A and B are shown apart, each in its own frame.
Chain A
Amino acid sequence: MEKVLLGFAAALAVGLCAIATGWAQSRIGSAGAGTLAEKPELSGTIIILLAIPETMVILGFVVAAMILYL
């Protein structure tokens, strides 16, 4: 039972963070697409901005790893 709960907690840690990251990226992506239409030279900056929210899911992954392995 404890293993199931641990697995569930780890899944929640990654899953919720992934949803949050996806939502943030969707907002940045749509704004970025609008920006690109006007200033194509900003493509590099927009790709980087798009990668910024991924920290959330990385943090979630670290927490999940700690739940499972520590």
Chain B
Amino acid sequence: MNDMIVAMSKVEIIGPMELLLPALDRVRALGLFQVEQEMRGFVDREDEKAFRSVRLDKKTLAERLYFDDLLAKIDQLAGFLPKLPTRCSYLEPHSAVGIVADVVDKHTLLCSGLCRRRDALEGERGELLRQTAFLDALEPLFKTAGEGTDLDFIGVSLKNSEAVDHLYQLIARLTGDTFEFVTTSGPEGAIIVLITLPVELGAKVRDVLNGERIPELAFPASLGQLPFPDKVRAVRRRIGDIGGELDRVNAELQRFAFRWWPTYQCVREWLLDRLALLTTTAAIHKTDLCFFIHGWMPSPDVPRLRSALNGEFQGRVVVEEQEALEEEMEDIPIAIRNPPYFRPFELFTRILPLPSYRSYDPTPFIGIFFPIFFGMILGDVGYGLLLLACALVMLKLFRTRRDLHDAALILLVSSCYAVVFGFLYGECFGGTAGGWRLLEQTCVIERSRSIMPMLAFSLSIGVAHVTLGLCLGFWSTLRRRLVRESLAKLVNILLLLCLAALAVSLFSPFPPPVRKSLNAAVLVAIPLMLLTGGLLAPLEMMKNIGNIVSYARIMAIGLASVLIAQVANRFAGLTGDVLTGAVAGGLLHLINIALGIFSPTIHSLRLHYVEFFDKFMVYGGRRFEPFKKPSG
């Protein structure tokens, strides 16, 4: 088994029934043990009848129902309260449960009433604000129209100028030209029209407008009797009043949350804790005298649990380690512990399903190969140093944000490799070894001029990586005693290596005996491959070859990066001015650096997820979830 997947032990905790809850509480305090409800595998099948699940007595059951109900009520109350940073309560939660249970209904009623009031006010304000947008447009029209008690005002909103013409003709016909018609533009391209006409004609015009389905700007029913200008003023006044009232309601809710929520929070946590304990007892089995807790825990922690229980219960509660059976291997929960260097790379493996117990933790592979591939693709001293500086700044800025801190650490390692490969390629900001004395000395290959050698280099990386994957797959299948699959993997490895050697011999011919041996090995391996892998084996082989060719991206994306950098340099030179050239070239380099972070990351990950892990990873493990106190 891979060292990064923690070795697990099958453990049984046995003790007298009266010590069940204290023992369970101690196990939970240690947080090392995952309780299994299923008894199969822990007890012989013929002995299973002697065991039965622990059932809660009437008193405890009533207690559990009471706690469940109280928790639901507290959660309901929480839904009404604003999310504020609250102080810590130092109340003894057990003694506060009774008080909280007495007042929670009253408090829920109070807070739900306040929330309903707040919602109603917000709804009303939203509606009035929508109308205000039209009123803003109408206000200047009143100045034109003037105010008078013998006049009536009708405001309408129309979509286009054709509708305005139609409305004008309609009103003219209805009023016999005794009206004033003013328009202005409103929100969202609407045309706002204010019609001023004698009071006695108002009802008639409104009826016709209703018939024509031209809605008058609606106001709350309470303002129905007021003249139009008064309505406008009343709406504005009401919006102001609502704002004040909303502030009062919100302040009351905040005051309540500040005063009461710490107590509720404290009781809620205690209830969750207590309910977790009572719920877990359902997964425990007993005989007439003893309880049995079955489960899994990390092997290195077994002595710690044993000594803790021995110390507390003077040997009355026993921890027994059992041998895990072959058929249980796939059910063993997975706990992954990586050394500090690999831990940040868990950021990339968290998106994968968990590996099965006898498979491998993918993190170390990504930790080793990802930065190398990243460096091989980016391979520029200047870019590498810039990214290194970025990583250091990120490390300083994001100390408390785990994901960003991990990303910064990955960038730090990867940029170091980019600098190393930058020296090997002799590149600094796209400039080649010719211009830099140090780079000239370290340069091994110039990427922009050595396309075929770089392609061969990338493919050889592919052969090595895929072969490593197949070797790990071979070992993994062998350990799971899948003989046929392991043989198929072995034949695949041999055939792949022979084909790679033959491909090399096309460019630098091998001595005839070696070449003949390779041909013979291929001829023998093909039927063997069919025998061990079945009819689909050739397809598998083609897939392997395709996977190797996919590694050409290391060279292709790297080449694109260096060519963009060179274009940036030439572009800067073409401007003929130092400042303009620096700005233009700098911008292009900046784009290239952004691409230089994104592309190598995506493609290196893809080479791992699709080409490499496919050869040996077996997913489908379940996470190790020890029984422990809720952290919230």
Q: Do A and B come from one complex?
A: yes
Q: Which residues of chain A in 27-70 are interfacial with respect to chain B, using CB atoms and an 8 Å cutoff?
A: 42, 44-45, 47-48, 51-52, 54-55, 58-59, 61-62, 65, 69-70
The answer to whether A52 and B451 touch across the interface, beta carbons within 8 angstroms, is no
Q: Which residues of chain B in 61-75 are interfacial with respect to chain A, using CB atoms and an 8 Å cutoff?
A: none
The answer to whether B550 and A55 touch across the interface, beta carbons within 8 angstroms, is yes
Closest CB-CB distance, A29 to chain B, in whole Å?
Answer: 13
The answer to whether B455 and A51 touch across the interface, beta carbons within 8 angstroms, is no
The answer to whether A51 and B549 touch across the interface, beta carbons within 8 angstroms, is no
Closest CB-CB distance, B619 to chain A, in whole Å?
Answer: 13
* A: interface residue count bin: 10 to 19
Closest CB-CB distance, A58 to chain B, in whole Å?
Answer: 5
- Taken residue by residue from 603 to 632, chain B's Cβ proximity to chain A (1 for < 8 Å, 0 otherwise) reads as 101100110000000000000000000000
Closest to A14 in B: B556
Closest CB-CB distance, B563 to chain A, in whole Å?
Answer: 13
Q: Does B553 contact A (CB under 8 A)?
A: yes
Which residues of the other chain, A, contact B602 by a CB distance below 8 angstroms? 47-48, 51
The answer to whether A65 and B546 touch across the interface, beta carbons within 8 angstroms, is no
- A62-B606 contact, Cβ under 8 Å, with A44-B351, A69-B452: no
Choice from A45, A51, A58 contacting B351 with Cβ under 8 Å: A45
B interface secondary structure, majority? helix
Q: Does B410 contact A (CB under 8 A)?
A: no
- A59-B606 contact, Cβ under 8 Å, with A65-B452, A69-B451, A69-B452: no
- A54-B553 contact, Cβ under 8 Å, with A44-B351, A45-B351, A47-B602: yes
Choice from A45, A47, A55 contacting B546 with Cβ under 8 Å: A55
Which residues of the other chain, B, contact A69 by a CB distance below 8 angstroms? 451-452
Which residues of the other chain, B, contact A65 by a CB distance below 8 angstroms? 451-452, 455
Q: Does B552 contact A (CB under 8 A)?
A: yes
Closest CB-CB distance, B46 to chain A, in whole Å?
Answer: 46
Closest CB-CB distance, A40 to chain B, in whole Å?
Answer: 12
The answer to whether A51 and B451 touch across the interface, beta carbons within 8 angstroms, is no
The answer to whether B553 and A52 touch across the interface, beta carbons within 8 angstroms, is no
Which residues of the other chain, A, contact B606 by a CB distance below 8 angstroms? 48, 51-52, 54
By a beta-carbon cutoff of 8 Å, the part of chain A in contact with chain B is 42, 44-45, 47-48, 51-52, 54-55, 58-59, 61-62, 65, 69-70
16 pairs, CB–CB < 8 Å, chain A vs chain B: A42-B351, A44-B348, A44-B351, A48-B351, A48-B602, A48-B605, A48-B606, A48-B610, A52-B610, A58-B553, A58-B556, A59-B549, A62-B455, A62-B549, A69-B451, A70-B452
With A47-B602, A58-B556, A69-B452 given, can you name 15 additional A-B contacts, CB distance below 8 Å? A45-B351, A48-B605, A48-B606, A48-B609, A51-B602, A51-B603, A51-B605, A52-B606, A54-B553, A54-B603, A55-B550, A55-B553, A59-B549, A62-B556, A69-B451
By a beta-carbon cutoff of 8 Å, the part of chain B in contact with chain A is 348, 350-351, 451-452, 455, 546, 549-550, 552-553, 556, 602-603, 605-606, 609-610
10 smallest A-B Cβ distances: which pairs?
A44-B351, A51-B606, A58-B553, A51-B602, A62-B552, A69-B452, A61-B556, A55-B550, A58-B552, A48-B609
